[in-house]
């Protein structure tokens, strides 16, 4: 079966791993890259032995069937819409879009055109989360009752070269890291019916202490400490905390899932592997569980490769637009609930993504 020909738009730092892994999956082949800075695209293309071109040239190229959109979040929706209008399937870095309205526009255009939309994060397809999914589905902790998810830190201004976006609309800890945690929880427990939350801006102004913008001030425009409650359609109740305001460190776990027969400690959903442990009811010790699935190293791009496989075979892809939109709506829902002092009832839903089969090589999907 011929590989799906892929073009990458956006050649910033994140593109490197997509170029690297794009050569290794059995369903897709990256053949070109584009950027608003065409010379940067050509330089990146020369590194990887592919074609560099303008965005317009890429969208007009009939050889390219699928676009991987690695632009900045504020451009995600507009580039996705351009790609779809050009007749290309599109896979985008997280989030799907900044607003719910833009996200719906992307999904609706794709449906009208008969094209696929996919979105990061795809870390839930790594060995860590896939093993955790298998343990839950095989009944190791009984019936799931609840879950907790924690992502706390001190923010980006001490180390990131250009941290302003993280404190602008569309940024903040929920929109930056929430997609990893919410996608993992949906993979484990299924879709969400209702959320509530409280959110605040703890420090209205931040000072950059990294280079090259040392000393510059950032006016914070989005909540930086968000605490939420999640009602899942299947019954469990989840708690999520995302924060850029924790200055003294934390010993909280990343994700735990609680069941009628035990507790599962799930690895960091921002990675592909990681340790997994279970404490069964009646036990006093944690037992570490070996990974049942591969893709435990940096397999970024596996969601795009899975979508390429879906284009080839007609099956549903796992990191799909419906789930990405469901995550986007939930993230806005936490903020809305805090502003309005009420629960936010979800208008969208999605399917729990199908688990990967056992026994696959690291760069195979079926």
Q: Is the peptide bond before 212 cis (omega within 30 degrees of 0)?
A: yes
The whole-number pLDDT of residue 170 equals: 83
Structure confidence by residue, pLDDT tens digits, 11-27: 988 899 999 999 999 99
Q: Backbone dihedral region of 317: left (phi > 0), alpha (psi from -120 to 50 degrees) or beta?
A: beta
Structural domains of the chain in order of their starting residue, each with its CATH number: 4-119 (3.40.50.720), 125-289 (3.30.360.10)
The whole-number pLDDT of residue 148 equals: 98
The predicted model gives 137-150 an average pLDDT of 98
- Contact between 66 and 18 under an 8 Å Cβ cutoff? The reply is no
DSSP 130: H
Provide the residue count of the chain. Answer: 366
* pLDDT classification of 90: cutoffs 50, 70, 90: very high
- What are the φ and ψ backbone dihedral angles of 26, each rounded to 5 degrees? -90, 0
In the chain, % of residues over pLDDT 70: 100
Structure confidence by residue, pLDDT tens digits, 207-217: 999 999 999 99
The whole-number pLDDT of residue 41 equals: 96
Distance separating alpha carbons of residues 165 and 185, to the nearest angstrom: 26
Distance between alpha carbon 319 and the CA centroid of its chain, in Å?
8
Measure the CA dihedral 210/214/218/223, to 10°: 20
Indicate whether 169 pLDDT > 90: no
Q: Which residue has the higher pLDDT, 96 or 72?
A: 96
Q: Specify the pTM.
A: 0.95
Indicate whether 123 pLDDT > 90: yes
Structure confidence by residue, pLDDT tens digits, 287-328: 999 999 999 999 999 999 999 999 999 999 999 999 999 999
Distance separating alpha carbons of residues 223 and 265, to the nearest angstrom: 28
């Amino acid at each position: 079966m011929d590989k799906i020909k892929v073009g990458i738009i956006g050649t910033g730092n994140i593109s490197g791993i997509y170029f690297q892994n794009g050569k290794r999956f059995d369903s897709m082949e990256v053949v070109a890259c584009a950027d608003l800075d065409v010379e940067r695209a050509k330089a990146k293309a020369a590194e990887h032995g592919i074609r560099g071109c303008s965005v317009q040239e890429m969208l007009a190229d009939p050889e390219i069937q699928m676009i991987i959109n690695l632009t900045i979040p504020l451009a995600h929706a507009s580039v996705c819409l351009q790609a779809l209008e050009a007749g290309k399937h599109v896979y985008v870095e997280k989030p799907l879009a900044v607003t719910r309205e833009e996200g719906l526009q992307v999904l609706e255009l794709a449906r009208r055109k008969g094209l696929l939309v996919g979105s990061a994060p795809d870390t839930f397809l790594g060995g860590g989360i896939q093993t955790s999914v298998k343990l839950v589905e095989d009944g190791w902790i009984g019936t799931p009752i609840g879950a907790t998810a924690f992502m706390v830190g001190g923010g980006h201004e001490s180390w990131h070269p250009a941290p302003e976006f993280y404190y602008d609309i569309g940024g903040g800890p929920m929109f930056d890291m929430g997609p990893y945690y919410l996608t993992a929880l949906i993979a484990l427990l299924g879709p969400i019916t209702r959320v509530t939350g409280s959110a605040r801006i703890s420090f209205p102004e931040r000072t950059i202490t990294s280079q090259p913008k040392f000393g510059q001030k950032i006016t914070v425009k989005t909540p930086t400490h968000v605490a939420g409650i999640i009602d899942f359609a299947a019954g469990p109740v989840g708690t999520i905390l995302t924060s850029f305001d924790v200055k003294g460190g934390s010993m909280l776990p990343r994700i735990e899932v609680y069941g009628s027969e035990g507790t599962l400690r799930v690895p960091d959903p921002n990675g592909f592997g990681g340790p997994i442990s279970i404490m069964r009811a009646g036990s006093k010790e944690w037992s570490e569980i070996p990974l049942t699935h591969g893709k435990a190293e940096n397999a970024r791009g596996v969601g795009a490769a899975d979508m390429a496989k879906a284009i080839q075979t007609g099956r549903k892809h796992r990191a799909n637009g419906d789930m990405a939109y469901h995550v986007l709506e939930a993230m806005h829902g936490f903020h809305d609930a805090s502003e309005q002092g009420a629960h936010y009832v979800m208008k969208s839903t999605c399917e729990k993504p199908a688990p990967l089969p056992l026994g696959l090589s690291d760069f195979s999907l079926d």
